[in-house]
Amino acid sequence: MALKSWSHRAVAGLAAGMLGLGALAGCGAQPGVAAVVDGEVITQEELSAVAAQYNRGVALTGNAWQPSEADTLAIMLSNAYARAVLAGTGNAELIEAARPVTVGEFAQLVDEQITDAETAEALKAEMTNPVAIDVLLLWAPSVLMTAQQEGFVEAEFDESALDLAINPRYGSLDYTNITMVAPVYPWDLSPPVAESTTDVLGEIAQ
């Protein structure tokens, strides 16, 4: 059985837009900063730690995809965007549904949905960082998609929902596909290439 999750493709089309904010002057000038989200700094060290654990979690599900730090950052920022939009609705049920799960709740979810005991135990032992768990589950964008489908939230992309600055090395967030679009430098005439949109979680081998 697969751990309940939502692929990048499943949430594509949530909002037709790109957070092409690049980097604010402060973010670009601060060494070691990956992004600033509503004033909260995500350091490159934090991003590296989350990405490493996320990679191990993906591998444990049997998925051969090896997400990059840019992939990880794209999901972190997309989770933040979805929660910001949902918070704007004032709907307590939607806000609660999209909140990050705790480590304990993740362990319970694994026990309920992963039938292979060895895989379940390995996932619970490995996934100890709540942010990495949040990235692995990709929960908030799915809640936002449901809210949009049911008319609680406008489908249009709302760039004003989130005050976001991204380190130029990661490019811009394409929320439609939950990817980072690589920056294009003056000496690089090739078109920007988005990161992989491979499913976040693969099927667990029966």
Average pLDDT, the chain: 77
Can you give the residue range of the structural domain that contains 140?
8-181
pLDDT in tens, 129-174: 999 999 999 889 889 988 888 888 887 777 778 888 999 888 888 8
29 inside domain: yes
pLDDT in tens, 16-49: 333 433 443 344 446 799 999 999 999 999 999 9
d(CA 126, CA 133): 10
187 inside domain: no
| Claim: this prediction has a pTM higher than 0.85 | no
70 inside domain: yes
% of the chain residues with pLDDT over 90: 47
201 inside domain: no
Q: Is residue 6's pLDDT more than 90?
A: no
pLDDT in tens, 64-109: 889 999 999 999 999 999 999 999 889 999 999 999 999 999 999 9
Count of residues making up the chain:
206
195 inside domain: no
Higher pLDDT residue, 111 or 181?
Answer: 111
Number of domain units in the chain: 1
63: confidence class by pLDDT, cuts 50, 70, 90: confident
72 inside domain: yes
